[in-house]
Amino acid sequence: MVRTRLYRSGTLISENFPVRDISEYLRDPTSVVWLDLYQPEHDEFALIGEEFGLHELAVEHALHQGQRPKIDHYRTHIYMNAYATNVADVGEALTVSEIAAFVTNQALITVRKDPGIAIDEVVARWDDSPELAAEGVGFLLHGLLDHLVDGHFRAVQALDDAIEKLEDLVFDEGREQVLAVQHRVLVLRRSLVDLRRTVLPVREVVNTLMRPGLQLVTPRLVPYYQEIYDQVLRATEWTESLRDLMNSVMETNLSVQANRVNVIMKKVTSWAAIIAVPTAVTGFYGQNVPYPGFAREWGFAVSSSVIVLMALVLYLVFRHKDWI
């Protein structure tokens, strides 16, 4: 799947034209081209890399998944790798989608490695700001970064809401509820780790793009990139605070479980002490030695009374101490 767009002097001229026409369009210095590739084949993308003069290492990175978010500066272009994030409806599991981008003086080439990135939303952002299209490739890259960072922010918000719900469940009783809390704790912790690994490097990526030496961000685009940088900082700080909050939830959950075990042990010990009374009395009188009341009705009545009385006293004492 291939998508293309052509801007000339800040005006959208054409889209979804054949890739073979890009070279002709780029002869005009006022033209800016966007080329989007979805899971391209190696040979296919190698030809495009030769056409645009892309470095072979950057091409290899774009074709393989698992690259960390970063930005590499080559002689003729910039290579950027980033991730889009999404949280499932249940607000727990985090999914990430990788995207690579090549930035030249007149072109932005995006390589999507999975279907998780809503490229239509990126195009919609470009269409919503036609007055910035004259800023060239920096305008296209801003729309892409703005979409990715907004996704990071939504993911942080969703995980924050999920942690708040989890805090309310920590003190709920029931075996099934306890198992559900433990499962959600593990899922949320894993999601926070993945989100932190995704969001933190974006700060350096945006900061690098804003350097004057790259001549990518024009003076008119500086406030827009600064806004993205501020959002990245907020998302980073929020992620770190959620990480600390998650650790507190885990510690609280462990404390609650330990307290429940202590309560159960107190109850078991209390009932064991109560049961020990009739066991001791009947065991004592069950010996083959005549004791006072042996083979007498009053002896049976006394021993039974002692059992009932001692068990009742212990029960009342434990009940008063809230052990039962």
- The whole-number pLDDT of residue 175 equals 61
The phi and psi torsions of 109 (rounded to 5 degrees) equal -115, 120
Q: Which residues pair with 73 in a beta bridge?
A: 78
- The whole-number pLDDT of residue 33 equals 93
- The whole-number pLDDT of residue 284 equals 63
Amino acid at 140: L
- The whole-number pLDDT of residue 252 equals 79
Q: How far is CA 107 from the centre of its chain?
A: 32
Q: Residue with structure tokens 């039974």?
A: 304
Q: In this structure, are residues 235 and 153 in contact, taking their beta carbons and an 8 Å threshold?
A: yes
Residues of the chain with pLDDT under 50: none
Q: In this structure, are residues 306 and 279 in contact, taking their beta carbons and an 8 Å threshold?
A: no
* DSSP code of residue 289: S
- The whole-number pLDDT of residue 287 equals 62
3-state secondary structure of 268: helix
Q: What is the pTM of this model?
A: 0.78
* Angstrom distance (rounded) from CA 42 to CA 52: 15
* Angstrom distance (rounded) from CA 220 to CA 98: 29
Q: Is 294 exposed, middle or buried (0-12, 13-18, 19+ CB in 10 A)?
A: exposed
Amino acid at 29: P
Output the DSSP codes for 122-179. HHHHHHH-GGGGGGTHHHHHHHHHHHHHHHHHHHHHHHHHHHHHHHHHTT--SHHHHH
- The whole-number pLDDT of residue 124 equals 93
Per-residue pLDDT of 28-84, as tens digits, reads 889 999 999 988 888 878 888 888 888 888 888 888 888 889 999 898 899 999 999
- The whole-number pLDDT of residue 32 equals 92
